[in-house]
């Protein structure tokens, strides 16, 4: 299939090797081929002549002309042009694109995916929210970006582990346990005033945790066998700092967070605990002290980060009171990732962690690891709108829209798709009303409707093939629908330039996957879906409503008109539609969004009976 960049790369390499065999070139410069950004410049371009000119002792355009003449000999190449200082632009024959449509049809949902790579695996850590409350909408965006990136990297052939790091120790989880104890006492005595400090968690979910505490495994030995009210009173008598409150609140919130993420189609291959990591922290930094990489000053322990990755001072890992810093455990955690064999670590963090990146990379450099082994994607905030008004988010006050509530309100597909309609480091306005609307200005509805329309056309073709059609039409319909034993479809039967352009666009998905994975930008896959959907909808409308050239014959046609219908062209278009549908479904799969075959709003307009 000569339609992917890697295939054109081989073609140009073979052309250069042939020129070398002929003595026309002498060097060993390797050519590089990419897709053109504009159709007017052809399909693919190479800068070989400009890169190799010095070694060959020739002007770039002269070398480009030699390469162009050699490439023009290939039967799949329609035209080769030398442009600018020495670019060589290639345009493939339309028949080549049409022939290549068999790839998405044959590969189905695997279209766009690549063979596994022989390289170290990648660790993608994302969400990693503290188990102290329900996930909010901001967490949801990070979850979707992380999950879509994992799917994208796997489609590009990488081995990937999706990981969640539980910050399950420290002050915040202790405060959650204390908050449960406070709510227990308030349930028994509503007149009790709240604590004067602002550290405790006041959300309604804490009250629910308190009500259900008697059934929690952490309290199995407290007033067992007694009534629920008696057990509540027994629990309320425990000290606020009882570790069982901490364990109960932490474990319940971990289960709730994982349940929310599962509802969002987000899963993890591995979960790590800060408590487990911290168990070896003293030994880890004692070894660094022995190696002179950590230094004690004024009772505190500092890591020797000054001068590394832009850090202007050494960083504290253990405070003078003996408490280890978050940086200390985070660095140990990342060192453990590398110990587990990961060649690259990609973290999805909130935008407010920007200043933490050089510190972590400096820490890795101190340990002797390449700082570039750590990549960080910063996810910007979500502006959630409700009736045009912003909704506040505050975990402590309880005044926020949870991710569960958003999913329940607009659905999983809308939630995931809209989170991917902007690059991760751009702020996102999430309009709940728009996300629920079954109209074409809703981006996820538009994309799924496009897939449903493609499916509806194919169903209509199946109905035609099973009904009364002229002689020869049934075989052509069978060919378009891909039935075994059907006659071949001439490549020239798909003849319109817009049909060729859309074929070119969907066949770019394998390259789009590689480029998006390399850039760590899963939103590009959603852009691909949007572009394909828009192109097909424009085509569909123009053929049916403006040119009276619908894909399938309208039901109003007479037997004579049906006999004169161009069934060969219909077969070619049906094969084309099957390829488009396969590419859209594959891309939506990478985004974690379903591709429905039926949608209530779309069905009435897809039968083309009014055309």
Q: Quick one: CA dihedral 212, 213, 217, 220, positive or negative?
A: negative
**Taking the CB of residue 438, how many other CB atoms lie within 10 A of it?**
11
Cα–Cα–Cα angle for 493, 606, 434, rounded to 5 degrees: 120
pTM equals: 0.94
- How far apart are the two ends of the chain, measured CA to CA in Å? 36
Helix axes 497-506, 523-541, angle to 10 degrees: 160
Mean pLDDT of 327-354: 97
DSSP class per residue in 5-30: HHHHHHHHHHHHHHHHHHTS----PP
Look at domain 443-605 and name its CATH class: mainly alpha
Mean pLDDT of 423-443: 93
SS3 155: helix
Q: Please give the structure tokens belonging to residue 178.
A: 């204390």
* Band of residue 394 on the pLDDT scale cut at 50, 70, 90: very low
pLDDT, tens digit, 9 for 90 and up, residues 2-59:
688 999 999 999 999 999 999 999 988 889 999 998 889 999 999 999 999 999 999 9
Look at domain 5-92 and name its CATH class: alpha beta
Q: Please give the structure tokens belonging to residue 482.
A: 């891909």
Distance from chain centroid for Cα 389: 28
Contact 150, 125 (CB under 8 A): no
Nearest to 525 by CA among 249, 533, 135, 370: 533
Nearest to 330 by CA among 169, 183, 448, 533: 169
Supply the pLDDT for residue 513: 98
Mean pLDDT of 206-210: 95
DSSP class per residue in 550-590: -SS--TT--HHHHHHS-HHHHHHHHHHHHHHHHHHHHHHHH
Contact 550, 543 (CB under 8 A): yes
Q: What is the mean pLDDT of the chain?
A: 93
Task: Tell me which residue has tokens 């409350």.
Answer: 133
Q: Is the pLDDT of residue 399 over 70?
A: no
Q: What is the 3-state secondary structure (H, E, C) of 373-392?
A: HEEEEEECCEEEEECCEECC
Number of residues assigned to the chain = 611
How far, in Å, are 5, 219, 248, 427 from residue 235 at the CA level? 66, 8, 12, 44
Mean pLDDT of 324-349: 97
Burial class (CB in 10 A: 0-12, 13-18, 19+), 94: buried
Q: For the chain, what are the domain ranges?
A: 5-92, 171-249, 443-605
Q: Is the pLDDT of residue 213 over 70?
A: yes
**347 or 39, higher pLDDT:** 347
Enumerate the β-bridge partners of residue 163.
125, 270
Q: Is the pLDDT of residue 406 over 80?
A: yes
pLDDT, tens digit, 9 for 90 and up, residues 145-173:
999 999 999 999 999 999 999 999 999 99
pLDDT, tens digit, 9 for 90 and up, residues 471-529:
899 999 999 999 999 999 999 999 999 999 999 999 999 999 999 999 999 999 999 99
DSSP class per residue in 495-554: --HHHHHHHHHHTTHHHHHHHHHHHT-THHHHHHHHHHHHHHHHHHHIIIIISS--SS--
**Percent of the chain whose pLDDT exceeds 70:** 96
Helix axes 171-188, 228-236, angle to 10 degrees: 130
Helix axes 473-480, 443-466, angle to 10 degrees: 150
SS3 139: helix
Phi-psi domain of 498 (left: phi exceeds 0; alpha: psi -120 through 50; beta: other): alpha
Helix axes 326-339, 281-290, angle to 10 degrees: 90
Task: Tell me which residue has tokens 């629908």.
Answer: 481
Mean pLDDT of 526-544: 95
The overall longest dimension of the chain from CA atoms, in Å, is 98
129 vs 109: CA distance, rounded Å: 32
Name the DSSP letter for residue 301: E
Supply the pLDDT for residue 127: 98
Contact 234, 226 (CB under 8 A): yes
Q: In what order do the strands lie in the sheet with 300-303?
A: 294-297, 300-303, 315-318
pLDDT, tens digit, 9 for 90 and up, residues 168-205:
999 999 999 999 999 999 999 999 998 888 889 988 89
348 vs 351: CA distance, rounded Å: 9
* Band of residue 601 on the pLDDT scale cut at 50, 70, 90: low
How far, in Å, are 13, 47, 74, 124 from residue 20 at the CA level? 10, 17, 17, 44
DSSP class per residue in 337-362: HHHTT-SEEEEEEEGGGTTHHHHHHH
Supply the pLDDT for residue 464: 94
287 vs 283: CA distance, rounded Å: 6
Q: Please give the structure tokens belonging to residue 8.
A: 């054109």
Supply the pLDDT for residue 393: 54
DSSP-derived pairing of the beta strands 300-303 and 315-318: antiparallel
Task: Tell me which residue has tokens 């891909």.
Answer: 482
Contact 436, 390 (CB under 8 A): no
568 vs 373: CA distance, rounded Å: 55
**Percent of the chain whose pLDDT exceeds 90:** 87
Contact 133, 205 (CB under 8 A): yes
Name the DSSP letter for residue 483: -
Supply the pLDDT for residue 609: 39
């Amino acid at each position: 299939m000569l339609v992917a960049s890697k295939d054109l790369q081989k073609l140009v390499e073979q052309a250069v090797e042939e020129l070398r065999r002929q003595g026309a070139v002498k060097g060993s410069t390797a050519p590089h081929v990419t897709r053109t950004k504009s159709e007017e410049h052809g399909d693919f371009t190479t800068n070989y002549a400009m890169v190799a000119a010095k070694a060959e002792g020739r002007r770039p355009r002269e070398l480009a002309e030699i390469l162009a003449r050699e490439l023009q000999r290939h039967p799949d190449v329609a035209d080769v042009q030398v442009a600018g200082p020495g670019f060589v632009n290639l345009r493939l024959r339309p028949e080549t694109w049409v022939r290549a449509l068999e790839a998405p049809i044959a590969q189905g949902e695997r279209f766009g995916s690549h063979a596994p790579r022989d390289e170290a695996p990648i660790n993608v850590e994302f969400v990693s929210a503290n188990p102290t409350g329900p996930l909010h909408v901001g967490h949801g965006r990070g979850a979707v970006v992380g999950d879509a990136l994992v799917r994208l990297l796997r489609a590009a052939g990488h081995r990937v582990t999706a990981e969640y790091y539980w910050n399950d120790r420290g002050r915040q989880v202790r405060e959650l346990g204390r908050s449960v104890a406070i709510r227990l006492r308030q349930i028994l005595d509503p007149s009790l005033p709240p604590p004067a400090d602002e550290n405790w968690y006041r959300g309604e979910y804490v009250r629910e945790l308190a009500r259900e505490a008697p059934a929690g495994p952490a309290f199995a030995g407290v007033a067992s066998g007694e009534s629920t009210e008696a057990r509540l009173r027994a629990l309320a008598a425990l000290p606020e700092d009882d570790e069982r409150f901490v364990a109960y609140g932490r474990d319940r919130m971990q289960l709730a967070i994982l349940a929310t993420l599962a509802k969002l189609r987000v899963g993890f291959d591995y979960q790590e605990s800060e408590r487990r990591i911290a168990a070896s922290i003293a030994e880890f930094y004692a070894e660094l002290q022995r190696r002179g990489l950590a230094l004690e000053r004024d009772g505190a322990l500092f890591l020797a980060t000054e001068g590394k990755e832009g850090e202007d001072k050494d960083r504290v890992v253990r405070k003078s009171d003996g408490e280890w810093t978050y940086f200390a455990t985070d660095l140990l955690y990342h060192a453990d990732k590398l110990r587990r064999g990961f060649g690259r670590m990609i973290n999805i963090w909130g935008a407010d962690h920007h200043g933490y990146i050089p510190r972590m990379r400096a820490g890795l450099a101190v340990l002797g690891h390449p700082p570039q082994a750590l990549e960080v994607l910063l996810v910007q905030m979500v502006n959630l709108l409700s009736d045009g008004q912003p909704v506040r988010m505050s975990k402590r006050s309880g005044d926020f829209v949870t991710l569960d509530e958003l999913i329940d309100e607009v659905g999983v597909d809308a939630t995931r798709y809209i989170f991917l309609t902007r690059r991760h480091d751009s702020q996102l306005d999430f309009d709940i009303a728009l996300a629920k609307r079954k109209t074409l200005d809703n981006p996820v509805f538009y994309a799924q409707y496009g897939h449903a329309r493609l499916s509806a056309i194919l169903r209509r073709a199946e109905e035609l093939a099973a009904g009364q059609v002229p002689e020869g039409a049934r075989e052509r319909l069978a060919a378009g629908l891909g039935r075994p034993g059907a006659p071949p479809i001439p490549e020239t039967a798909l003849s319109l330039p817009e049909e060729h352009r859309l074929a070119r666009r969907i066949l770019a998905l394998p390259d789009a996957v590689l480029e998006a994975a390399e850039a760590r930008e899963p939103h590009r896959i959603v852009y691909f879906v949007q572009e394909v959907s828009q192109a097909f909808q424009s085509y569909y409308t123009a053929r049916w409503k403006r040119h009276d050239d619908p894909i399938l014959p309208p039901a109003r046609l007479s037997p004579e008109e049906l006999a004169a219908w161009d069934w060969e062209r219909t077969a070619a278009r049906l094969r084309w539609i099957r390829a488009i549908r396969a590419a859209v479904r594959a891309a939506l799969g990478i985004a974690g969004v379903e591709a429905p075959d039926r949608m209530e709003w779309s069905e009435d307009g897809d039968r083309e009976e009014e055309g």
